[in-house]
Amino acid sequence: MRSRLIAFAAIAASATATVPLVAQTPPQPKSAADGIAEYRKMLEDGNPAELFEAKGEDLWKTARGPKNATLEACDLGLGPGVVKGAWAQLPRYFPDTKKVQDLESRLLSCMQSLQGFDAAEIAATPFDKGEQATVTALAAWISSLSRGMKMALPQKHPEEKRAYELGKRAFFYRGGPMDFSCASCHGEAGKRIRLQDLPDLTKNPGDGVGFAAWPAYRVSSGEMWSMQRRLNDCFRQQRFPYPGFASDATIALGVYMGVNAKGAESIAPAIKR
Amino acid sequence: MPDPMRIRAQAAGDKTTVRVLMSHEMETGLRKDPAGKTIPAWFIQEVTAQLNGKPVLTAEWGPSVSKNPFLQFIVKGAKAGDKIAVTWRDNRGETRTDEATVS
Amino acid sequence: MHSHTKTSNVDRLKETPMTNHLNRRMALARSAQVALMLGGLGLLPRTALAAYPTAAFEAKTIPDLMKALGAGAPVESKDVTVTAPDIAENGAVVPVGASTSLPGAKRLLLLVEKNPSMLSAAFDVNEFVEPSFTTRVKMGQSSNVLAVALMADGRVLYAQKEVKVTLGGCGG
């Protein structure tokens, strides 16, 4: 597997090698990497994620569920109702649930305790159906209020440190029919699948890359993807069984990647192929 | 009730750039669902816009416009405070109108 | 950035999510009936009465499309611009634009040559809008994208650009 990925990278690298310019010849065609960068830039203005941000804000402020309450008292780590900057510090430990929780997990807690929804039922609902769509829209809006801020996940509480170590172990855990791990694709710098550069998630891959680029609107499916959805798809691509929604393993992976991305500027919600 | 659009209208001199994001499936009618049944065509056919009630834009779209469509057009003679209203109508006859203020 | 729906403040106070939904459905049904009535009396603006140009949107070749639009054969022109990326990372969303520097354009069209039907979008040009429109289209495969300007004097001018469509990542 690893040698195949390196071969892909080599082929792609040679395809993008530029020819030296000679005066009086027409301008050289853009490299594939430049072409992709231009395409992404053209999509930046007018991200359909904005449609989900608007929905999310509405859902936060609307009384819903069996208890007919809003989510405005929900504590995302910075105090009840404080949304700005909360995304950049998640996942983190919460004293009331005594757990390290990511955004989606915390939304389940709040939707249950404040609004009376059944968290387990939402976790079992397919993505984009029913209250899962609510969680996704909320994630889009909440993350938008940390846009431009630097990832700063806390690592003070022993549970937060334990989650980091668990996440690291999960990241390097090889399994499934193809013997993949997250590290197979994201464990080294300079890797590529087709035209996608694969960020090295064992380190800080830079502003707006990797953990700092999700949630994101996926143009290929026309869907808004939360981090939980993105992780779910990673597991699918590795041919692993699907993880439980907001399970300990997925939260731990979020801690590992998020802590590694400390200082990276968040661009969420972003737009992706 | 269709979801609201996001409309931004920014004036620069005599030209106001209007950017719209619409929430719509834009189903071509060429896709099949997992059971093999054709998913019926469902797409925006007409987009119109008005500046302070005066029609300024008429566009006709086919199903190949992308899902959750984006549209940019430039209106002449608008100024900050003016109202831009955008309406779409799809092949099912559903319609949505949203309004924004030129900034 | 502000978007507001056309609902009065008084109506807002009376709305619960349920009655809101019902009221809007009733309002839509009522307005559809009113529209039919007004249409019959010839009192609706042109856009509501004009038939959707189905033949144009089903045309599979440029000659068929021009015939459906009542236009002549297109001629390449430096005064028409098609804006599109060289490579689209995914064919589901390709940003494209059509514009012309010439006065006297009546309509601007966006075509994707290799799509099942070529015409993606048609924009009327009038004194209130610049002849410059941008949207995003689905492309089934790498193809030429064309911007076509239908001029008031009958000329049909176009510009084209090849857009390569790729499939990224682990297969979409």
Domains of chain B, CATH where assigned: 6-101 (2.60.40.10)
- Domain with C160, as residue range(s), is 52-165
Mean pLDDT of chain A: 90
Do C79 and C154 fall into the same domain?
yes
In angstroms, rounded to a whole number, what is the distance separating the alpha carbons of residues C156 and A13?
43
Domain co-membership, C31 together with C81: no
We report the CATH number of the domain holding residue C103 as 2.60.40.2470
Q: Are residues C36 and C76 in the same domain?
A: no
pLDDT tens for each residue of A232-255: 999 999 999 999 999 999 999 999
Report the pLDDT averaged over residues A218-237.
94
Mean pLDDT value of segment C46-61: 80
Q: Looking at CA atoms only, how far is residue B68 from chain A in angstroms?
A: 6
The angle subtended at Cα C137 by Cα C133 and Cα C143, nearest 5°, is 110
- Arithmetic mean of pLDDT, B53-76: 97
Contact A194 C166 (CB under 8 A): yes
- What residues of B are in contact with residue A217 (Cβ under 8 Å)? 68
Does the predicted TM-score (pTM) go above 0.90? no
Q: Are residues C113 and C100 in the same domain?
A: yes
* Continuous segment of H or E residues that includes residue C12: helix C9-14
The verdict on residue C154 lying in a domain is yes
pLDDT digits (tens, 9 = 90+) for B23-40: 999 999 999 999 999 999
C61 and C13 share a domain? no
Is residue C172, in this structure, part of any structural domain at all?
no
Q: Are residues C87 and C30 in the same domain?
A: no
Q: Nearest residue of A to residue B20 by CA position?
A: A46
The answer to whether the beta carbons of residues A264 and A211 sit under 8 Å apart is yes
A196 interaction partners in chain C (CB closer than 8 Å): 168-169
Q: Per-residue pLDDT averaged across C75-103, rounded?
A: 96
Do C92 and C126 have their domain in common? yes
Judge whether B34 is closer than 8 Å to chain C, CB to CB. Answer: no
Q: What is the dihedral of CA A234, A239, A241, A243, to 10 degrees?
A: 0
Determine the residue among B7, B22, B42, B68 to mutate to test chain A binding: the one whose Cβ has the most chain A Cβ atoms within 10 Å. Answer: B68
* pLDDT higher than threshold 70 for residue C26: no
Question: How far apart are alpha carbons B80 and C6 in whole angstroms?
Answer: 20
Average pLDDT rounded to a whole number, residues A114-141: 97
- Report pLDDT for A6: 46
Would you name the residues of A annotated as active-site residues? 234
Contact B71, B47 (CB under 8 A): yes
Question: Quick one: closest CA in C to A196, which residue?
Answer: C169
User: Which chain A residues have a beta carbon less than 8 Å from that of B23?
Assistant: 48, 51
Segment A123-151 shows an average pLDDT of 97
Co-location of C81 and C122 in the same domain: yes
pLDDT of residue A7 exceeding 90: no
Residues C34 and C93 in one domain: no
Confidence band (pLDDT; 50, 70, 90) for A21?
Answer: very low
Q: Does one domain contain both C93 and C116?
A: yes
- The CATH superfamily holding the domain A2-11+40-272 is Cytochrome c-like domain (1.10.760.10)
Distances in whole angstroms, Cα of residue C125 to Cα of each of B75, C78, C98, C151: 11, 19, 11, 10
Of the candidates C85, C168, C172, the beta carbon closest to that of A195 is on C168
Instruction: Give residue A36's pLDDT.
Output: 86
Mutant choice from C31, C128, C137, C150 vs B, greatest count of B C-beta within 10 A: C128
Residue C1 distance to chain B (closest CA, Å): 5
Nearest residue of B to residue A219 by CA position?
A: B67
Chains sharing 3 or more CB pairs under 8 A with chain C: A, B
C86 interface with A at CB cutoff 8 Å: yes
For the cut 90, the answer to whether the pLDDT of residue C60 exceeds it is yes
Residues of B in contact with C112 (CB under 8 A): 64
Q: Does residue A18 have a pLDDT over 70?
A: no
Q: Is pLDDT above 70 for C23?
A: no
Model confidence over A140-193: pLDDT tens digits?
Answer: 999 999 999 999 999 999 999 999 999 999 999 999 999 999 999 999 999 988
Number of domains in chain C: 2
Dist. CA A136–CA A63, nearest whole Å:
18
Task: Please list, residue by residue across A9-44, b when 16 or more beta carbons sit within 10 angstroms of its beta carbon and e when fewer do.
Answer: beebeeebeeeeeeeeeeeeebebbebbeebeebbe
Same domain, C39 and C66: no
Give yes or no: residues C100 and C133 share one domain.
yes
pLDDT at C39: 45
Does residue C3 form part of some domain? no
Among A61-65, C24-28, C87-91, C138-142, which stretch is predicted with the lowest mean pLDDT? C24-28
Lowest mean pLDDT among A77-81, A190-194, B62-66, B81-85: A190-194
In this model, does residue C42 exceed pLDDT 60?
Answer: no
Q: What is the pLDDT of residue A32?
A: 81
- In the three-class reduction of DSSP (H, G, I as helix; E, B as strand; rest coil), residue B61 is classed as strand
Instruction: Quote the minimal CA–CA distance from C7 to chain A in Å.
Output: 16
pLDDT tens string B75-85 = 999 999 999 99
pLDDT over 90 at A33, yes or no: no
Would you place residue A203 in the very low, low, confident or very high pLDDT band (cuts 50, 70, 90)? very high
